[in-house]
């Protein structure tokens, strides 16, 4: 049977983004649970159970913090405002300094990292040692120091928060812790939200926790540890002088010094730079820290409030720097290994929850992989009543989440923190809830659940609750009812006004609708008219296009006829030119002949003339007919001697003393006639 690594359910109440800002509504995590609760651990009596795994934090209220801008190793801020007048060892202050090494200082800052005992005249003095060790606040590693003054006068509180701190030159993470200064009472509360690694150094083996006055002559020490590097990897922790996740040390003024109280309740506040909160601390509930697990365990965890996704890291080193398993972007709360781990090997693992605002890391737990089939059950995550619940009825119902591998449960309710001398102690419970009656009014009780199977027992965290007296409960119920009634009445007034506004808007909307419908009718008529005109225009266009076709055809025909006419004209002009040329030749010949005739007439008395007819011409166009004068005669005249239009023209050839006649086109049988003369 595979074992389960679990985170418990973790709650947060979201408050203003600034002390006066609007509140955020609480929302659940990935599985949309209505309520989510933080289970970081508890302390059960060692006589009954093995040591508990962590503290059980109450629901948190988120505030948007101010960044101190302390970045790096051995750094200190400038003077920062407290927000009210605060008395420290009898001196009043309105500002403070904060160092990366876990100190709040008054009057001036200091960067010393090597912690000392309290009191000590050597500087620094005049400080609150929340966790004075050689810490780092590297922004590149997402470590920041925030502060914010919350509440209203005369009950304001300054919250200073060291977030995701580390140790100098060490890969292991340190965690997140706070110091809270209260107006009026001048109380100082130091509390630890999450100490991430399971090493002695994480739990204060190298730290100073306490207060010291301005001269270093007086103070109160809660814890002093020698700064021993070897303790960084040492996993055994001195339970009597260490701090854990959820530890609280309250310092209250007592004359010229302070009293210290390590049983005060945790103040559920948290600071961050975002308008909306990051996830709360994922709480592991898988095989109990320091226990055994199968070679192929199923890692699983409870829903973490505000988480969008998770990252699982498993390493054989507590620093998780070279994980053998690193699975990002998980949207479910479980993961099962596909390949077995190495037998008899100790592994460290953690989960990082994230959303758009940021990331939050769980504690680092360790287990030993074993080749076995039976293991103790997982941890039962407590559900109700929530941690620190007040005004609880005398017969409450206790509920918890089922533990992996559990066969039954034991519910213990006691008036003592270590659960000794229990008021109620019932075993063999098979359900995950149990009602208890007879609790005393006005009494504080502590309760826990032990998961059981044949292999062993696993305790849950321990929670506290306070039972109210019946009158208080009734008064509270009445006050709650009156508050709800007032809210309901206010909502009713708002609803009625909203209804009246809606009705007025409805009247306006109806009139607007009527106007729109009238405009729509006009528009539709205009559209119909336009469509009719468009139809007429289209018909006119069609008719015009048809006429254009006819006109184009007529134009084409006219152009064709014009071309024929122009060709005929060209041909006629060519023939006319030819005829005119021939006429000119004929006229020239006639003129020459006339000249000759005239000469002949003048010389007729001295000339002997005769006519010679030439041979018949051939059959082709322009075929010639020759009429030659006798050798002793001279050509004096040349003409056609043919009937009709057979002869085209006659031409004298004086060089050869002859007359030439030519056939007309398409005719034959032209005869040349030569007039020949000689002297008497």
Question: In the numeric block, which tokens belong to residue 660?
Answer: 């030439």
What's the CA gap between 42 and 419, in Å, rounded? 11
Residues of the chain by 3-state class (helix, strand, coil), percent to 5: 20, 35, 45
What's the CA gap between 375 and 1, in Å, rounded? 8
Which residue, 405, 460, 330, is CA-closest to 2?
405
Contact between 350 and 227 under an 8 Å Cβ cutoff? The reply is no
Residue bearing tokens 């996704």: 309
What's the CA gap between 270 and 280, in Å, rounded? 9
User: Which of these ranges, 223-237, 531-545, 645-659, has the smallest mean pLDDT?
Assistant: 223-237
What's the CA gap between 515 and 487, in Å, rounded? 41
Stretch 207-235: mean pLDDT? 81
Residue 345: predicted pLDDT: 95
User: Which of these ranges, 133-137, 281-285, 345-349, 562-566, has the smallest mean pLDDT?
Assistant: 281-285
Give the number of other Cβ atoms within 10 Å of residue 211's Cβ.
Answer: 24
- The angle subtended at Cα 160 by Cα 158 and Cα 166, nearest 5°, is 175
Separation of CA 517 from chain center: 44
What's the CA gap between 640 and 648, in Å, rounded? 8
Residue 55: predicted pLDDT: 52
Residue 423 has pLDDT above 70, yes or no: yes
Stretch 144-168: mean pLDDT? 96
What's the CA gap between 291 and 376, in Å, rounded? 9
Stretch 60-86: mean pLDDT? 96
Give the number of other Cβ atoms within 10 Å of residue 624's Cβ.
Answer: 16
What's the CA gap between 659 and 500, in Å, rounded? 132
Q: Where are the beta strands (DSSP E) in 394-494?
A: 397-400, 408-414, 424-429, 433-435, 444-452, 457-459, 463-467
Most confident of 50-59, 235-244, 668-677: 668-677
Contact between 653 and 646 under an 8 Å Cβ cutoff? The reply is no
Which residue, 97, 249, 74, 270, is CA-closest to 167?
74
Question: In the numeric block, which tokens belong to residue 324?
Answer: 């053998």
Residue 288: predicted pLDDT: 73
User: Which of these ranges, 234-243, 561-570, 576-585, has the smallest mean pLDDT?
Assistant: 234-243
User: Which of these ranges, 50-54, 166-170, 582-586, has the smallest mean pLDDT?
Assistant: 50-54
Contact between 269 and 180 under an 8 Å Cβ cutoff? The reply is yes
Contacts of 153 (CB under 8 A, 6+ apart): 84, 183
What's the CA gap between 341 and 296, in Å, rounded? 6
Residue 381: predicted pLDDT: 84
What's the CA gap between 425 and 410, in Å, rounded? 7
Residue 238 has pLDDT above 50, yes or no: no
Residue 24 has pLDDT above 70, yes or no: no
User: Which of these ranges, 21-30, 448-457, 611-620, 663-672, has the smallest mean pLDDT?
Assistant: 21-30
Q: Does the reported pTM lie above 0.75? A: no
What's the CA gap between 624 and 601, in Å, rounded? 29
Stretch 3-13: mean pLDDT? 41
Contact between 86 and 181 under an 8 Å Cβ cutoff? The reply is yes
Q: Nearest 5°: phi and psi at 59? A: -55, 145
Question: In the numeric block, which tokens belong to residue 243?
Answer: 């701090």
What's the CA gap between 37 and 13, in Å, rounded? 10
Higher pLDDT, 472 or 237: 472
Stretch 485-489: mean pLDDT? 89
User: Which of these ranges, 21-30, 421-430, 443-452, 481-490, has the smallest mean pLDDT?
Assistant: 21-30
Tens digits of per-residue pLDDT, 285-311? 777 788 889 898 888 777 788 999 999
Residue 590: predicted pLDDT: 77
HSE, CB side, 13 Å, CA atoms: give it for residue 446. Answer: 19
Stretch 181-185: mean pLDDT? 97
Question: In the numeric block, which tokens belong to residue 14?
Answer: 């979201």
Contact between 168 and 207 under an 8 Å Cβ cutoff? The reply is no
Q: Nearest 5°: phi and psi at 168? A: -60, 125
What's the CA gap between 276 and 601, in Å, rounded? 144
Which residue, 570, 194, 479, 246, is CA-closest to 352?
194
Residue 124 preceded by cis peptide, ω within 30 = yes
Residue 154: predicted pLDDT: 96
Helix (H, G, I), strand (E, B) or coil at 136: strand
Residue 234: predicted pLDDT: 47
Max Cα-Cα span within the chain? 193
Residue 449 has pLDDT above 80, yes or no: yes
CB burial readout 328-356, b (16+ within 10 A) else e:
eebeebebebeeebeeeeebbbbbbbbbe
Residue 81 has pLDDT above 70, yes or no: yes
What's the CA gap between 322 and 325, in Å, rounded? 9
Higher pLDDT, 343 or 663: 343
Residue 227: predicted pLDDT: 55
Question: In the numeric block, which tokens belong to residue 12?
Answer: 């947060």
Q: Nearest 5°: phi and psi at 492? A: -65, -45
Question: In the numeric block, which tokens belong to residue 395?
Answer: 């017969």
Residue 531: predicted pLDDT: 94
Stretch 562-580: mean pLDDT? 90
What's the CA gap between 29 and 353, in Å, rounded? 10
* CATH class in words for 604-679: mainly beta
Q: What is the DSSP string of 277-295?
A: ---------SSPTT-EEES
Class of residue 255 by CB neighbours under 10 A (exposed 0-12, middle 13-18, buried 19+): exposed
- The angle subtended at Cα 578 by Cα 577 and Cα 581, nearest 5°, is 85
What's the CA gap between 663 and 671, in Å, rounded? 9
Stretch 579-595: mean pLDDT? 81
Higher pLDDT, 172 or 531: 531
The percentage of residues in the chain with a pLDDT greater than 70, rounded to a whole number, is 87
Give residue limits of the domains in the chain: 66-272, 604-679
What's the CA gap between 293 and 196, in Å, rounded? 21
Strands 672-679 and 634-640: antiparallel
Confidence band, pLDDT 50/70/90 cuts, at residue 14 = very low
- β-partners of residue 298 are 4, 336
Confidence band, pLDDT 50/70/90 cuts, at residue 13 = very low
Stretch 502-510: mean pLDDT? 93
The percentage of residues in the chain with a pLDDT greater than 90, rounded to a whole number, is 57
């Amino acid at each position: 049977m595979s074992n389960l690594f679990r985170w418990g359910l973790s709650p947060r109440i979201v408050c203003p983004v600034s002390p006066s800002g609007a509140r955020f509504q609480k929302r659940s995590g990935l599985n949309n649970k209505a309520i989510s609760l933080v289970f970081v651990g508890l302390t059960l009596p060692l006589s009954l159970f093995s040591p508990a795994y962590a503290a059980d934090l109450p629901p948190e209220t988120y505030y948007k913090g101010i960044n101190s801008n302390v970045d790096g190793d051995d750094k200190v801020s400038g003077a920062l405002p407290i927000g009210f007048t605060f008395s420290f060892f009898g001196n009043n202050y309105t500002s403070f300094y904060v160092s990366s090494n876990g100190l709040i200082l008054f009057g001036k800052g200091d960067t010393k990292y090597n912690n000392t005992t309290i009191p000590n005249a050597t500087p620094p003095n005049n400080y609150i040692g929340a966790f004075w060790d050689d810490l780092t606040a590297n922004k590149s590693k997402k470590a920041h120091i925030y502060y914010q003054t919350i509440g209203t006068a005369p009950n304001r509180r300054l919250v200073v928060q060291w977030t995701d701190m580390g140790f100098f030159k060490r890969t292991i993470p340190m965690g997140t812790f706070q110091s809270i200064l209260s107006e009026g009472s001048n109380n100082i509360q130091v509390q630890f939200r999450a100490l991430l690694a399971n090493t002695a150094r994480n739990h204060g083996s190298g730290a100073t926790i306490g207060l010291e006055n301005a001269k270093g002559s007086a103070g109160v020490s809660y814890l002093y540890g020698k700064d021993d590097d070897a303790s960084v990897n040492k996993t055994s922790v001195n339970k009597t002088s260490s701090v854990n996740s959820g530890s609280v040390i309250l310092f209250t003024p007592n004359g010229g010094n302070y009293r210290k109280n390590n049983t005060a309740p945790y103040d559920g506040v948290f600071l961050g730079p975002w308008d909306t909160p990051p996830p709360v601390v994922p709480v592991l509930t898988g095989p109990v820290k320091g226990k055994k697990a199968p070679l192929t365990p199923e890692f699983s965890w409870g829903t973490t409030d505000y988480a969008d996704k998770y990252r699982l890291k498993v390493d054989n080193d507590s620093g998780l720097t070279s994980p053998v398993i690193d699975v990002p972007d998980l949207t479910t709360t479980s993961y099962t290994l596909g390949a077995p781990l190495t037998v008899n090997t100790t592994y460290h693992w953690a989960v990082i929850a994230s959303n758009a605002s940021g990331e939050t890391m769980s504690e680092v737990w360790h287990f030993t992989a074993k080749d076995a089939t039976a293991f103790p059950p997982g941890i039962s995550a407590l559900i109700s009543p929530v941690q620190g619940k007040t005004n609880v009825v005398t017969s409450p119902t206790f509920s918890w989440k089922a533990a992996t591998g559990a066969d039954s449960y034991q519910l213990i309710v006691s008036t003592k923190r270590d659960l000794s001398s229990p008021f109620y102690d019932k075993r063999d419970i098979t359900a995950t809830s149990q009602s208890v009656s007879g609790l005393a009014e006005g009494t504080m009780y502590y309760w826990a659940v032990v998961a059981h199977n044949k292999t062993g027992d696993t305790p849950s965290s321990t929670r506290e609750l306070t039972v109210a007296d019946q009158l208080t409960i009734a008064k509270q119920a009445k006050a709650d009812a009156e508050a709800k009634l007032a809210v309901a009445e206010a909502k009713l007034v708002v609803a009625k006004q909203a209804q009246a506004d809606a009705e007025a808007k409805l009247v306006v909307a109806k009139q607007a609708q009527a106007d729109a419908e009238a405009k729509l009718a006009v528009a539709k008529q205009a559209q119909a008219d336009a469509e009719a005109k468009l139809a007429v225009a289209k018909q006119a266009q069609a008719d015009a296009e048809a006429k254009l076709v006819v006109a184009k055809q007529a134009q084409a025909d006219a152009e064709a006829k014009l071309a024929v006419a122009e060709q005929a004209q060209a041909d006629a002009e060519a023939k006319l030119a030819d005829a005119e040329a021939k006429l000119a030749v004929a006229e020239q010949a006639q003129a020459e002949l006339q000249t000759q005739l005239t000469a002949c007439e003048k010389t007729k008395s001295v000339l002997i003339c005769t006519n010679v007819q030439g041979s018949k011409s051939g059959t082709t166009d322009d075929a010639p007919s020759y009429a030659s004068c006798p050798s002793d005669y001279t050509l004096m005249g040349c003409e056609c001697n043919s009937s009709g239009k057979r002869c085209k023209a006659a031409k004298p050839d004086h060089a050869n003393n002859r007359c030439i006649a030519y056939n007309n086109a398409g005719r034959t049988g032209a005869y040349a006639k030569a007039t020949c003369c000689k002297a008497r």
